[in-house]
A and B are shown apart, each in its own frame.
Chain A
């Protein structure tokens, strides 16, 4: 009696029956007779099985002939938009670092529409292995020119042969990739003779070893047969690849740092525990502010207050607005702060609107009357002077500006804020000088009433403390500037 043992047979990584494939044929792949994809599929399946990584592999399939790879491979598979496999692979590899991403791509997919996704993933050193089928044409769509088509080669979109003056030269992906610092392994193989296929088998194995061991980005280009589109017999197809294609695409290893590259450790798991999330995201409760029932007594606060700050970009006008918004927040007001953004944001003038209210804030935009205008450039004052109405407070930097005609009843206060700030040794604290001046004006004119007068200084100190809690010297400087601003007005 004799028995038979399978020495070479169908890989267990393939499904027994290709039930996902429509139509009656469930044993064969959809590829044309003699297609290089089939050979590569078998080499990949064997390499996955040999390494016992079937459970971990996520195969990202391209658009092109291999779009239906998930009909055959029994592992995690996703068929993705044209050219985007390395980007989808990046998403997978980053959120599930214990998985092993294989990006399987053709020459149109990788070297034309998806070259950016490919080269950028390579440059980030994504932990993935890319297998690149170069068969010198677009197979799935019927044999059009690919970036890899040889000069003079006839395709359905180069019926006169590829004209390098019009279409450029064949794209050498290994060579381009080899200019990057980070890829670990780059090799070009040909699926032609048995000897060449055996070399490819080793390369594929190495790329999967690197994947399993988290070494980094590996890339294997495979010159493949497309006998139906190229209208060649099996023998002529091999000859074309070995003799014509290899002139442009020399076989061999361009880089192999597999041995010296260290396995990268898995990143730490993401934090989702609510208590830890709270401690990392929520600000610590500082010993400032007031009880949630507190209400400032001045009548001023019974209505919505509309405050505008305007000046040059870089003068800190936006931070001045944020400081006021912070002060209001610390006294249980609702606030909105809206910067001017638009062309102005990139240099030139800057302004922001701050609205303070006990109720839900309506429109956050101030385009008519405002309760307060702090203007620290002439342009800004000229631009917004019409929004200043009787009863409005106007604070301006008297060291650099002149007043335009304004309506009766505007409460006007000039303070040479920038000079005072410079004297204190830091131009950046001019904002606090202006706020000190504002405090003085509000108190002097009894706009702030009763306890609110002292509270304004207090809430300023709290806001400064909250904003710069890690920088005591900055807190001190701003407190000093505020006092100087207040003094300057009262002098």
Chain B
């Protein structure tokens, strides 16, 4: 039988395809706009492959089911939006400490509080700086299309397993809702349960048969924390991902992810047509932040412009990456509004005027 691997999918659906093709065994979800299509598509497709789908009683229930599945060495996923992710953070902190892999999609909406269901990128701090209690990091992918929703979810399972860590997919509501042509990746061959699974093992085998996050002796806990920190350093070294656009001679470097990066890319073309040497760095991972790539622009860059859909969060990481060695400005809209090409261009022109004065 011949199959078609080029399909039209909504971003949220594409994430489910990415998960299934990556061999995800289980999905535990709870409805929330604008992430509900992830749960809906999972409810449709996981049972088709005799895999596990459960609509949990709450966001908290869902993330704890993920803990259970992951402890058995299976691939597990959940998804939500901002406020639901807040509820899940306790479980994510435990996952980080258990060193159990998991994939969590955050289809971000506006906040704080209920905010509205329009797209925003204001979960940036929450996801990149730990989010829950106790001090940990999770890799965070930032897709800008339905294709990347699929590809990054697919890749996230491998990263999660390689480093034994929860991994986030952070997509603003537009990327979750947009329908685009997606080329599906190949299904992963069957995998064995992860070696750390507590499934069916007893201490007599020499393999630990338990998971805990409790270490009452201070020195023992410190050793574990230092091991985690070393792992985070390793991830920062190895897993920075970004896409450069017209950066070779860029004097003004725009930095944007998600849907605002697609607007910013058009703004770069407009600026170039107006004689401004602009370029765009689009982080595909926002933790680890692509510091190396951003630093690479310093040989020509005179100023930076962080394009965001919040009141300015990533801008801190931009400043840190370049040690505040150039002026870093912000152009942003929030609460469901998306910065337009015209707004970005206008702000960029102001910045360049300032710089060349």
Contact = CB atoms under 8 A, between A and B. Distances in A.
- Chains A, B in direct contact (C-beta < 8 Å): yes
Interface of A: 15, 20, 22, 54-56, 58, 60, 67-68, 70, 74-81, 84, 87-96, 99, 116-117, 120, 124, 267-274, 277-286, 322, 325-326, 329, 334-339, 341-343, 345, 361-365, 367
B58 interface: yes
A269 B25 CA distance: 10
Given A91-B28, A284-B1, A364 B209 contact: no
Contacts of B76: 91, 95
A274 B50 contact: no
A365 B118 CA distance: 14
Between B8, B70, B204, B266, the greatest number of chain A beta carbons within 10 A of the residue's beta carbon is seen for B8
Interface stretch (B183-191, B231-239, B316-324): B183-191
B72 A88 contact: no
27 contacts: A22-B217, A54-B202, A55-B200, A58-B199, A75-B202, A77-B210, A77-B212, A78-B211, A81-B64, A91-B69, A94-B26, A95-B26, A95-B72, A117-B57, A271-B50, A281-B45, A281-B48, A282-B5, A282-B7, A286-B4, A337-B8, A338-B179, A342-B117, A343-B117, A362-B263, A364-B180, A367-B340
Contact of A329 (B69, B145, B181): B181
A279 B65 contact: no
Interface in B170-202: 173-174, 177-181, 184, 186-191, 198-202
A365 B344 CA distance: 15
B180 A335 contact: yes
A361 B144 CA distance: 11
Contact of B209 (A22, A76, A286, A342): A76
Contacts of A270: 25, 49-52
B314 interface: no
Given A283-B4, A363-B265, 5 more contacts: A79-B214, A89-B68, A91-B28, A335-B181, A364-B174
Contacts of A99: 72, 199-200
B352 to A, nearest CB: 22
A73 to B, nearest CB: 9
Contact of B212 (A79, A280, A367): A79
B180 A116 contact: no
A90 B338 CA distance: 40
A79 B65 contact: no
Interface in B45-102: 45, 48-52, 54, 56-58, 60-62, 64-72, 74, 76, 90-91, 94
Given A95-B26, A284-B1, A341-B117, A334 B180 contact: yes
B259 interface: yes
B178 A364 contact: yes
B336 A268 contact: no
B263 A117 contact: no
A243 to B, nearest CB: 36
Contacts of B263: 362-363, 365
Contacts of A15: 203
A286 B191 CA distance: 32
Instruction: Give the interface SS of chain A, mostly helix, strand, loop or mixed.
Output: mixed
Nearest to A69: B210
Nearest to A338: B178
Given A88-B68, A116-B58, A282-B3, A365 B179 contact: no
B61 A67 contact: no
A81 B91 contact: yes
Contact of B262 (A267, A284, A334, A363): A363
B124 interface: no
Between B64, B214, B220, the greatest number of chain A beta carbons within 10 A of the residue's beta carbon is seen for B64
A277 B21 contact: yes
B216 interface: yes
A22 B57 contact: no
B300 interface: no
A84 B71 CA distance: 14
B48 A280 contact: yes
B34 A341 contact: yes
B6 interface: yes
A70 B199 CA distance: 15
Which A-B residue pairs are the 3 nearest by beta carbons?
A: A91-B68, A87-B64, A282-B3
B65 A88 contact: yes
A76 B91 contact: no
Between B91, B118, B178, B340, the greatest number of chain A beta carbons within 10 A of the residue's beta carbon is seen for B178
Contact of B3 (A268, A283, A367): A283
A252 to B, nearest CB: 29
Contacts of B74: 95-96
A361 B148 CA distance: 13
B338 A339 contact: no
Contact of A77 (B21, B190, B198): B198
B91 A362 contact: no
B213 interface: yes
A274 B64 contact: no
A365 B338 contact: yes
Given A117-B61, A334-B180, A87 B56 contact: yes
A365 B174 contact: yes
A78 B4 contact: no
B266 A362 contact: yes
A74 to B, nearest CB: 5
B17 interface: yes
Between B51, B68, B214, the greatest number of chain A beta carbons within 10 A of the residue's beta carbon is seen for B68
Interface in B299-318: none
Contact of A92 (B61, B71, B180): B71
Interface in B142-185: 145-146, 173-174, 177-181, 184
Between A81, A91, A271, A361, the greatest number of chain B beta carbons within 10 A of the residue's beta carbon is seen for A91
A84 B57 CA distance: 12
A272 B179 CA distance: 27
Nearest to A280: B48
